A and B are shown apart, each in its own frame.
Chain A
Amino acid sequence: MNGWTTEEVKESPEILEMLADLLFQLADDDFVLGYRDQEWLGLAPHIEEDVAFGSIAQEQIGHATFYYHLLESLGVGRADDLASLRPGEQRRNAVLLEQPNGENGDFLNQPHFDWAWTIVRHYLYDVWDIARLNLLKESRFVPLAEAAEKILGEKRYHRAHQELWIRTMAKHDTLSRQKLQKALGEAFGWVGDLVSFGRFQGRLEEHGVITSVEPAVRRYWVEVQDFLRSEGLIVPEVSSVMNGRLGEHTDALGEALARLSEVYRLDPSASW
């Protein structure tokens, strides 16, 4: 199959539609999780971790920025507008990633955040994102294939970071183990749509934009289960409440979008 350039994609509305849907999944995933990550600024368990998690948040947003710019180059809209102004029903991120960092409060008011939940969620995402980037390395859309190869090298550090935290919490004491186990139960209740590619999945595979999804999903669950079991954790049942890849979202996303775009909306034409 011949590789597609940006110009070639722009000429075909049908190809552009499915490719844009995929790029929104990639961009929105990194973006909304980056937002949740940065809510921890000043609140992480210790000072070095505060700096580290801030860097991870920044890199999440940096990767999202790359994908939004790729959408801009395809004529879909201005990158900043795509990030800040699209309403919830147009967002394609997995619902797990939009959930708050804890049950109570937000970062401005009583931030009773849950570190175990934050790390478990990030771990599930990072392992999947690496699997997904591997499906994109041979993508027919050349700029995406180039980016996947490069971003993979960066994401493996994110994953290593979360794995270290899980190992630490799994062996620290009974309380940290309980918190980890509880977080796993909650995260697995949301995780179903994470490992899917939305309504164009079949066509994306047929056209060689992504390589075969199903074996990658199987390998993903084996990897996750093996790791969690090796830390003595019980692996819960996977379920799915709604499908973010189809634009279904919880109220948590609407609240996050209102907050993160508050300043941008004051004057979308301002120069940054």
Chain B
Amino acid sequence: MLTADAVTRELETVHDPEIVKVSIVDLGMVSEVRVSDGTILITLTPTFVGCPAQSIIQRLAEERIQKAFPGVSVTVEMNLRDPWHTDRITPRGRQGLIESGIAPPGTDLNDVACPFCGSREAVMENLFASTSCRSLYYCRGCQNPFEAFKPL
């Protein structure tokens, strides 16, 4: 049956290409799913406006939903009406980030725990890392470098 819940369940299989263990639903990117006779309208919101993965995620979502609901008109919009904040990441999303080796965002830049050993003895090496939404840290507990999602 075509319902908003069924669409959302499908969206749980769509991922940011750079964070493959966390769905866009758990990342908090899905602002709205609207279903009305034969059409699906999905509104996504970017985590970071400057993120280059936006158009890829938009396309992946559209392809997945179109495949799951053939014959239905699917539109995926991206807008900032309902802006993203780090607290939109679900508990399951935070767990997925840890499993990907990325520390989930804390209340500030010092509120960070190593995703490998859990130690809070971490020092920031650089505010910017391999993507602009993450910072680079060094763990004094297990001597590993790791990245952490920036609080926003």
Contact = CB atoms under 8 A, between A and B. Distances in A.
A59 interface: yes
Given A62-B51, A157-B150, A146 B130 contact: no
A63 B127 contact: no
Interface stretch (A148-156, A232-240, A255-263): A148-156
A150 B83 contact: yes
Interface stretch (A50-58, A198-206, A223-231): A50-58
B17 to A, nearest CB: 14
Nearest to B46: A150
Q: Is the interface of A mostly helix, strand, loop or mixed?
A: helix
B132 to A, nearest CB: 4
A212 B147 CA distance: 40
B129 A157 contact: no
A205 B49 CA distance: 26
A48 B136 contact: yes
Contacts, number: 74
A62 B128 contact: no
Interface in B68-91: 79-81, 83-84
A33 B90 CA distance: 35
B52 A49 contact: no
B147 to A, nearest CB: 10
A63 B50 contact: yes
Contacts of A161: 127-128
Nearest to B151: A153
Contact of B126 (A48, A147, A151): A48
B80 A55 contact: no
B126 A58 contact: no
Given A49-B126, A63-B49, 17 more contacts: A52-B127, A53-B128, A55-B128, A55-B129, A56-B128, A60-B50, A62-B52, A63-B50, A66-B49, A143-B79, A146-B83, A149-B80, A150-B84, A151-B49, A154-B49, A154-B50, A154-B132
20 contacts: A52-B127, A55-B130, A55-B132, A56-B128, A56-B132, A58-B132, A59-B50, A61-B50, A65-B50, A146-B79, A146-B80, A149-B80, A149-B83, A150-B49, A150-B84, A154-B48, A154-B49, A154-B50, A154-B152, A161-B128
